[in-house]
Amino acid sequence: MSLAEVTVAIESGCHVVSLQASLIERVNVIRAIERELAIAFGLPCYLWNLGAGRFQELSPSVSRQGNSDVCGVERSQPLDVLEFLSHQPGSGVYILEDLHPFLDQEADDVPSRMVAGRVVSRLINIASDRSGGSIYLILLGLQNVELPEVIRSLIPEVWYPLPDYQEREAMLRQFLPQIESGVDLEIVPTLAQRAGGLSIEEIKMSLRLAVAKSGGSLASKGVGLLLDFKVERLKQFDLAFTPSPDVSDFGGMDRIRDAIDGVKRDYTQAARRLGIPLPKGWLLVGPPGTGKTLVCQFCAKMLEFPLISVDTGAIAAGGASYLRRLIDRVEASAPAVVYLDEFDKLFPDPGVPADVKQRQVLGFLLTWLQNKVSQTFVIATLNRLDALPPELTRLGRFDEIFYVDFPQAGERKDILHLHLARFDRRYRHGSVLTMKEWRILLSRTVNCTGAELAGMVEKAAKRQFHAGAREIVLGLDELMAAREEITPLYMADTDRLLRMRNAAKRMATSAASVDDSAYAPPPMTLWGNVEGDSSVFSSGTDVNAILPEG
């Protein structure tokens, strides 16, 4: 990996740069600083940390250019180190490891705040000194503690990048023969692709474990074991990585199905040749249980991308710096579908001012969504569109905003049939219920969500199983009995759900077109006339969707 951003900062006149990296990459990062900065600029390189309590010279072959007693004196405290450096001991690259925790001016105790204030002040003096000399400080952060906001405008902060595909492939071709003699290097492209999102040392660790678990051979289980390691590693960042979502089809939402086909075409080489931009993602808005999560899983399956589910609650707690680390992992894992559930958790309720952390998260998201060029397709789901800052709904952040409403009659029939076929084999070969029975069942499931319909079928199947049935046989009577045991969300919270729909009505496209199936009820006015369109949303819904069931 390259330290190009650090090099640019130094060449532009910065004498202090903060470099963030993961602890497992410590040795690689220090070697990169020595190689790409110290040796490239012809300067000696020194490392200091609390454990050593003194500077250690890393590049003795480079001329010291006047440096004398850098390494000879013990300097165990950050203030002592900065005091020494402020008097310009001589040219060199000075790596100060994990100084960041000493910069916290919001510590609980007064003495710690006073020390932090003096350390920050010293750093400001060194960073502001333009008197000349080739003294460069690299503040190496390995504990996920970033610079305080007060000095970010003066000291640039960069992140040590995760390896791209070419870097992973080059490393694997060199590393694999070291851990398995006679290894077939044809496995390298697959491993390089599946290792996306891991650092170099994490990849090496996973492969060493794979060799040990597979009895010394990577050929049979190497890829699977690497993926297992990756899943567990990404969990530590609150990222749920699913290599290949195991999800069946879903009923209804024909417009989303068509949109998935369009996204798949937009990722082809033909689209690249014609200059078609890479897809950005979608916002899915709608009541709980209407299938938004299922759409994300199905989209990943159809695109043949892994699914990465992001914990928005963890982002809300960790702030923009935490989000940045997650996005680095996500982008390095591309191609992938990125799922942000309960997206509105990241922002305050309507009418409540955002705090500093929320504004920083919003700013980072806006920049990332607008400028991202990776093959990461972002699907964010939420219940209320008016809970989002308006900047996120403007063109250029997401490609589409879909409203996932309660399923219409034809969609309910498809959903029920899919779940009935899970338990009753007869439904796998066609419809079992008559048209009249379907109409009765559909009339009693108006405003039921897809999750409630699935639960209804499961209840009916469990009742037969608990009664000792050797085979599940589900008809209208069994399903109607199960329906009586369910209280739909719509009945329990009608007003709130109607507000959700109205808030999304002007900005979102319905996930489903007007129901023109044989099961659709005829359009009716409130006076019972079969005339006009009863739709309360752009796609058309049952007239009963605006009234509680009697």
List, in order, residues 6 or more apart from 213 with CB less than 8 Å away.
221, 225
**H or E element that contains 488:** none
pLDDT of residue 132: 58
Encode pLDDT of 293-313 as tens digits: 999 999 999 999 999 999 999
pLDDT band, very low/low/confident/very high, at 492 (cuts 50, 70, 90): confident
Please state the rounded mean pLDDT for residues 85-105: 85
Given a contact cutoff of 8 angstroms between Cβ atoms, the answer to whether 195 and 173 are in contact is: no
The two counts, helices (H) then strands (E), for the chain are 20, 13
Encode pLDDT of 96-153 as tens digits: 998 998 888 777 777 888 888 899 999 998 888 766 577 899 999 998 888 888 898 8
Residue 541 has pLDDT above 50, yes or no: no
Round to whole Å and give the CA distance between 56 and 194: 38
pLDDT of residue 548: 39
pLDDT of residue 88: 67
Same fold, 4-159 and 254-403: yes
Nearest 5°: phi and psi at 221? -120, 5
Encode pLDDT of 396-428 as tens digits: 899 999 999 999 999 999 999 999 999 999 999
Amino acid at 218: L
pLDDT of residue 493: 84
- Residue found by looking up tokens 């752009």 in the block: 538
Residue 529 has pLDDT above 60, yes or no: no
pLDDT of residue 528: 54
- Please, what is the average pLDDT of the chain? 87
At residue 476, the 3 state secondary structure works out as: helix
Encode pLDDT of 374-390 as tens digits: 999 999 999 888 888 98
Residue 60: CB atoms within 10 A of its CB come to 9
pLDDT of residue 60: 59
pLDDT of residue 146: 85
Encode pLDDT of 243-269 as tens digits: 999 887 788 899 999 999 999 999 999
- CA of 517: how far to CAs of 198, 356, 402, 411, 428, in Å? 48, 50, 21, 9, 20
List, in order, residues 6 or more apart from 246 with CB less than 8 Å away.
none
10 vs 351: which has the higher pLDDT: 10
Q: What fold does the segment set 4-159 form as a domain?
A: Rossmann fold (3.40.50)
Round to whole Å and give the CA distance between 277 and 148: 37
- In the chain, what are the domain boundaries? 4-159, 165-236, 254-403, 409-546
Encode pLDDT of 437-471 as tens digits: 999 999 999 999 999 999 999 999 999 999 999 99
Encode pLDDT of 185-207 as tens digits: 999 999 999 999 999 999 999 99
Residue 177 has pLDDT above 60, yes or no: yes
pLDDT band, very low/low/confident/very high, at 511 (cuts 50, 70, 90): very high
DSSP notation for 247-280: ----S--HHHHHHHHHHHHHTSHHHHHTTPPPP-
Which candidate, 371, 367, 398, 370, places its Cα nearest to that of 382? 398
pLDDT of residue 1: 56
Which candidate, 427, 418, 421, 415, places its Cα nearest to that of 452? 415
Given a contact cutoff of 8 angstroms between Cβ atoms, the answer to whether 107 and 116 are in contact is: yes
Residues 226-239: b if buried by 16+ CB within 10 A, e if exposed:
bbbbbeebbeebbb
Highest mean pLDDT among 44-58, 59-73, 103-117: 44-58
Round to whole Å and give the CA distance between 298 and 364: 28
Residue 526 has pLDDT above 60, yes or no: no
CATH class held by domain 254-403 = alpha beta
pLDDT of residue 74: 80
Round to whole Å and give the CA distance between 286 and 406: 8
pLDDT of residue 532: 44
